[in-house]
Amino acid sequence: MEKTKVTLIYWGLSLFVFLSLMPWIFNPTIAIYSIETLAIYGGIVVAFLGGTIWGWDKEYASPKNLWLAIGFSLLGLGICLLTFINLSVSLIVLIFSLHAFLAFEKKYSTYFQANIKYANARNLITNLVTICCITSLAYLYNPYI
């Protein structure tokens, strides 16, 4: 099962990479849609990650952690909605929320702690998605476009 999880993590990353490279290749209209899609997809991922807490071992699925799960899910929804109000801020919130969930998962997830391959993949993917968000922010603030 660990191999499947790691494989799916990398497949999920491929969409982030594709969406962050599109603005640099296609016209500005498509670029904005691509970055909006990246932010919304990121919000969905944050909401999904929050939902995974409900499947953790009983000792780590405490009421506090379940409330945090709902918080992460609502944060994901907030990122999606914020995309239409302020795209740059939504990307920044996405970066912080992904790193916050990673820190939370490192501390409380027994699966994360017991499976080094999964833990390494989650660390790497979080950092690569951060780079994708920064690449998108660079496009938005590029004075030459």
Q: In this predicted model, what pLDDT tens digit does every residue of 49-71 receive, in sequence order?
A: 998 888 777 666 778 888 988 99
Q: What percentage of the chain exceeds 70 in pLDDT?
A: 95
Taking each continuous run of H as one helix and of E as one strand, the counts in the chain are 6, 0
- Domain of residue 75 covers 2-19+27-140
Across 17-33, average pLDDT: 94
Indicate whether 145 belongs to any domain.
no
pLDDT greater than 70 at residue 3: yes
The answer to whether residue 74 is domain-embedded is yes
Q: Is the pLDDT of residue 2 over 80?
A: no
d(CA 30, CA 16): 15
pLDDT of amino acid 1: 65
Higher pLDDT, 14 or 145: 14
In a domain, 91, yes or no: yes
The answer for residues whose C-beta is within 8 angstroms of residue 144's C-beta and 6 or more apart is none
pLDDT of amino acid 52: 84
- Is residue 106 one of the residues assigned to a domain? yes
Query: What is the phi/psi pair of residue 86, to 5°?
Result: -150, 100
Number of domains in the chain: 1
Note the pLDDT of residue 59: 67
- What would the pLDDT profile of 98-121 be if each residue is shown by its tens digit? 999 999 999 988 888 888 998 999
Comparing C-alpha atoms, which of 116, 133, 131 is closest to residue 43?
Answer: 133
